[in-house]
Chains A and B, each alone.
Chain A
């Protein structure tokens, strides 16, 4: 709402101090409507405003939208109004102005002149002889013969009122702006009766203004056009600067022009994969030749301070964890404002790919992998690190066993860093407390371990849905589905790991002990 406040204040100030000054066509229409109602005084005021704004009549004048006036004849309308009011002097002045511009229809003007003469004669009585006439400038109107004969007695006009001094707001004619005023007034064939004093009083003729056409020239036209052009050019320039055509790299992925060929001591050989937050490159240490994976955030994320901080935390956390079941962070740094981190390149297959290819795992293999995961998270928990995003895609199956990677959204159990309300996990493996609590602890990792173990045995996670809403809701409310592949003891462990209440889940040590026992039992039973 803040941007609107100054505007509202500005408008309020203008409303209090300003006077409504209608556009000429609005005023003209007001006059027409008032005239139609018989409100001559209001009509005179409105037509007066119209000629003040647009003094030059027009045959077709654009108003607003696609609307136009098919005949903007303010002086004829003024003459009609003054005649109706009985103000013959003003009517005569209006007709004189109409003739000056020569745009308004001559027959109508002539008819009004005839009515004017008839009214004068009705007031003054018969005029015995042609009287002196004053030449009124005319431009294009055809000559009209003077009608010196008195008007017939049946003129349909109201009883003339005595001439009165017209107030300016009552339709006093404003300055004429047409070219006719700038020229010497030619002799007019129109014999308008002289009413010198009154005409001079109601229709003073100020110095002429320049500019033909229905719109009078304004001094600000030049700078308005210039400012508008400058703004348009500025907008186009800004648009041009913001244009970006993505260059394509391997697999059609956009190749950021800032992409480095080396990060710190590591050279880049190719792309391993593109994730939601970062691109993983395959590289090698330029000194030792050791194969590494270099992780670089997407350029559009690097601009986000929150993400940069999170990425840096990932590097810091990884550097603190040294365990055979955890993919370590070798080094991290910033290369030309691009943060990066390097991990050893691990040959292997992620668990989700393994499940996708081969389906459910044998019980022994599933228990072995679960044990490896449990060892990794137990170690991390002793370092006050919670993974918070354990899922098959973060688990690499190597000949030496499973390794846990991507502590990218893991958080140190520090209050200052666990206040985010954002849900940062993956819904399929999210513990129920993730839905209701911004801070989750080690039990959330153990819950994810249970879900992963279930998936390894059945080939699919226990809770699925078409939307994150559904999945999260299922985690909170639905019991663990049946798992016929799991022996009773394994099923009991699954039930405990996937308990809705975090405190009901077993501790890391107990989990490891149960898994070791289950593996031993499974081995002995098979042998």
Chain B
């Protein structure tokens, strides 16, 4: 017999069920993909150099990571370049001061912090330039981990009611793996000395697995197994990115447009629950559910100022109308529903990101360049809290440095983001089917990202010779 709310958030179902007689509870239901992206859902480029400048790179984009910001920037590469980017993160999500009326009595929720960390290869590319009628043309192939779902946590949530006489707690263990990858091929070309254009075709491919195990404790006794949820999903789609850069000696301007596309999304889930009276386990295996989803376009504009031979300042603005993110072709009433917020499309915000940064170069000796970078960013997230209407807006700063020696460039960047808002969500791991809450508190998010990029410039003649041998022969 299935339980009423067999999800990992059953405790909240029991403790935070709406109580106001006149309130209209409205369970917020979230799309698995966005839920698994956790705290941030921002599609942006890769690379420690760009991250160090606050993520502002659209107008400059002059290294092997250019394709992820503006493919037009590829046309500036004069030598073949290979790049590898790795990134790690440490995240802390704190819930503080949650109080509410539960079953008629004031209930206090213990402050809790959910921490996790991870690292992964985030980008790799190979760019090869050549000349066509005296114009520089650059071809690039790249891999980018645009969303990394790797995640693991074990958190205790605890509530006290009736003046501390009753306590209820849940231990929730979540493991998640997978992500969404972007496989891209790009071409950048120099039209004139002033104008560079570029295009890339990107194949999106994602897969994820999610496991959640929950255990409940009531007043220190009666510890019972509650639920074990397993989900798997896949995601496929193709889009294109178009870019233009206008450049002069002192000013660069760039525009990049990521086309909208339709992706195929399929997921299955299996739930194991326990019958509260008989103690029997119930396995509920869902059928694979498939739908097409509309992924909206993104328009970005950037400026780059050459304030001196060694000083660069950059500013980017980009906009993504997430309110257009819809289900299609599912054959159900899901069609037309926003996949960020299953029931309330009006809660989904279009986002406008802002990135500012600067880079200063210092020469050490005759062959070593040391760059120093600093930046600022503001990245609003599309989803707002279903109850409070508060939007998560990530703001923060970045620092970066590196070293360039001969043909090798090593860059590192630190990105620090934070947000604090009023929310009704006491936990984050209710996969789908969040339960409405009448308890409110503060959610504090602190993220630190560390990126390392390695770019190596190859010998042009040798690369051309190798390509000629491979494709032409002889």
Whether A associates with B in a native complex is yes
Residues from chain A with Cβ under 8 Å of B158 in the complex: none
The answer to whether A313 has its CB under 8 Å from any CB of chain B is no
Binds A, one of B95-103, B116-124, B141-149, B164-172: B95-103
The answer to whether B211 has its CB under 8 Å from any CB of chain A is no
Q: Does the CB pair B2–A252 fall under 8 Å?
A: no
Which residues of A (55-86) have their CB < 8 Å from a CB of B? 59-68, 70
Residue of A248, A301, A436, A465 touching B346 (CB-CB under 8 A): A301
The answer to whether A3 has its CB under 8 Å from any CB of chain B is yes
Which residues of B (344-379) have their CB < 8 Å from a CB of A? 344-347, 354, 356, 361, 363, 366-367, 369, 371, 378
A48 to B251, CA, bound (A): 24
The answer to whether A123 has its CB under 8 Å from any CB of chain B is no
Binds B, one of A10-18, A113-121, A156-164, A374-382: A10-18
The answer to whether B222 has its CB under 8 Å from any CB of chain A is no
Q: Does the CB pair A272–B21 fall under 8 Å?
A: yes
Q: Does the CB pair A466–B231 fall under 8 Å?
A: yes
* Interface SS of chain A: mixed
Binds A, one of B12-20, B37-45, B84-92, B200-208: B12-20
Residues from chain B with Cβ under 8 Å of A66 in the complex: 49, 63, 361, 369, 371, 402, 404, 409
Residues from chain B with Cβ under 8 Å of A466 in the complex: 6-7, 229, 231, 269, 271, 284, 286, 431-433
Most chain-B CB neighbours within 10 Å: which of A214, A228, A298, A299?
A228
Binds B, one of A24-32, A124-132, A139-147: A24-32
Q: Does the CB pair B25–A251 fall under 8 Å?
A: no
Q: Does the CB pair A293–B22 fall under 8 Å?
A: yes
Q: Does the CB pair A7–B310 fall under 8 Å?
A: no
Binds B, one of A196-204, A261-269, A341-349, A365-373: A341-349
Q: Does the CB pair B286–A465 fall under 8 Å?
A: yes
Tell me how far the C-beta of B419 lies from the nearest C-beta in chain A, rounded to whole angstroms.
Answer: 12
Binary contact readout A283-316 vs B (1 if CB under 8 angstroms, 0 otherwise): 0000000000101001111001011000000000
The answer to whether B135 has its CB under 8 Å from any CB of chain A is yes
Binary contact readout A45-61 vs B (1 if CB under 8 angstroms, 0 otherwise): 00000000000000111
Q: Does the CB pair B346–A467 fall under 8 Å?
A: no
Residues from chain A with Cβ under 8 Å of B103 in the complex: 353, 356-357
Q: Which B residue sits closest to A19, measured CB to CB?
A: B192
Chain A contributes a number of interface residues (CB within 8 A of B) equal to 108
Residue of B14, B29, B78, B250 touching A26 (CB-CB under 8 A): B78
Q: Which A residue sits closest to B359, measured CB to CB?
A: A66
Known contacts A220-B248, A300-B384; is A280 also within 8 Å of B191 by CB?
no
The answer to whether A393 has its CB under 8 Å from any CB of chain B is yes
Q: Does the CB pair A20–B250 fall under 8 Å?
A: no
Tell me how far the C-beta of A351 lies from the nearest C-beta in chain B, rounded to whole angstroms.
Answer: 11
Binary contact readout B180-192 vs A (1 if CB under 8 angstroms, 0 otherwise): 0000000000111
Q: Does the CB pair A62–B361 fall under 8 Å?
A: yes
Residues from chain A with Cβ under 8 Å of B6 in the complex: 464, 466
Residues from chain A with Cβ under 8 Å of B5 in the complex: 464
Q: Which A residue sits closest to B132, measured CB to CB?
A: A20
Q: Does the CB pair A352–B17 fall under 8 Å?
A: yes
The answer to whether A275 has its CB under 8 Å from any CB of chain B is yes
Most chain-A CB neighbours within 10 Å: which of B23, B249, B269, B335?
B23
The answer to whether B235 has its CB under 8 Å from any CB of chain A is no
Q: Does the CB pair A468–B24 fall under 8 Å?
A: no
Which residues of A (452-486) have their CB < 8 Å from a CB of B? 459-461, 464-470, 472-473, 481
Q: Does the CB pair B194–A468 fall under 8 Å?
A: no
A405 to B344, CA, bound (A): 20
Residue of B20, B305, B315, B460 touching A273 (CB-CB under 8 A): B20
The answer to whether B412 has its CB under 8 Å from any CB of chain A is no
A267 to B193, CA, bound (A): 68
Q: Does the CB pair B422–A435 fall under 8 Å?
A: no
Q: Does the CB pair B26–A276 fall under 8 Å?
A: yes
Binary contact readout A472-507 vs B (1 if CB under 8 angstroms, 0 otherwise): 110000000100000000000000000000000000
Residues from chain A with Cβ under 8 Å of B163 in the complex: none
Known contacts A435-B332, A464-B6; is A422 also within 8 Å of B337 by CB?
yes
Q: Does the CB pair A20–B191 fall under 8 Å?
A: yes
Residues from chain A with Cβ under 8 Å of B255 in the complex: 7
Q: Does the CB pair B26–A467 fall under 8 Å?
A: no
The answer to whether B197 has its CB under 8 Å from any CB of chain A is yes
The answer to whether B313 has its CB under 8 Å from any CB of chain A is yes
A220 to B461, CA, bound (A): 38
A475 to B76, CA, bound (A): 58
Tell me how far the C-beta of B360 lies from the nearest C-beta in chain A, rounded to whole angstroms.
Answer: 11
The answer to whether A38 has its CB under 8 Å from any CB of chain B is no
Q: Does the CB pair B190–A470 fall under 8 Å?
A: no
A434 to B14, CA, bound (A): 28
Residues from chain B with Cβ under 8 Å of A23 in the complex: 193
Tell me how far the C-beta of B291 lies from the nearest C-beta in chain A, rounded to whole angstroms.
Answer: 8
The answer to whether B259 has its CB under 8 Å from any CB of chain A is yes
The answer to whether B218 has its CB under 8 Å from any CB of chain A is no
Q: Does the CB pair A300–B389 fall under 8 Å?
A: yes
Q: Does the CB pair A422–B345 fall under 8 Å?
A: yes
The answer to whether B154 has its CB under 8 Å from any CB of chain A is no
Q: Does the CB pair A473–B289 fall under 8 Å?
A: yes
A278 to B18, CA, bound (A): 13
A346 to B378, CA, bound (A): 45
Q: Does the CB pair B18–A393 fall under 8 Å?
A: yes
The answer to whether B421 has its CB under 8 Å from any CB of chain A is yes
Q: Does the CB pair B289–A18 fall under 8 Å?
A: no
Residue of A3, A4, A20, A300 touching B190 (CB-CB under 8 A): A20
A470 to B257, CA, bound (A): 36
Residues from chain A with Cβ under 8 Å of B21 in the complex: 272-273, 293, 346-350, 396
Residues from chain B with Cβ under 8 Å of A350 in the complex: 18-19, 21
Residue of B24, B284, B303 touching A280 (CB-CB under 8 A): B24
Residues from chain A with Cβ under 8 Å of B440 in the complex: 251-253, 274
Q: Does the CB pair B334–A274 fall under 8 Å?
A: no
Q: Give the 6 A-B residue pairs with the shortest CB-CB distance, closest first.
A: A273-B20, A276-B26, A273-B23, A21-B193, A275-B24, A18-B192
Partner-B contacts on A (CB < 8 A): 1, 3-4, 7-8, 10-11, 14-15, 18-23, 25-26, 29-30, 33, 59-68, 70, 213-215, 218, 220-221, 224-225, 227-228, 231-232, 235, 239, 246, 248, 251-254, 271-278, 280, 293, 295, 298-301, 304, 306-307, 343, 345-350, 352-353, 356-357, 393-394, 396, 405-406, 408, 421-424, 426, 434-436, 438, 459-461, 464-470, 472-473, 481
Q: List 25 A-B contacts (CB under 8 A).
A: A14-B195, A15-B195, A65-B76, A65-B409, A65-B455, A67-B457, A213-B309, A215-B309, A235-B315, A235-B354, A246-B421, A246-B422, A251-B99, A252-B99, A272-B23, A273-B23, A274-B387, A275-B387, A280-B22, A295-B22, A299-B389, A357-B103, A435-B333, A468-B432, A469-B334
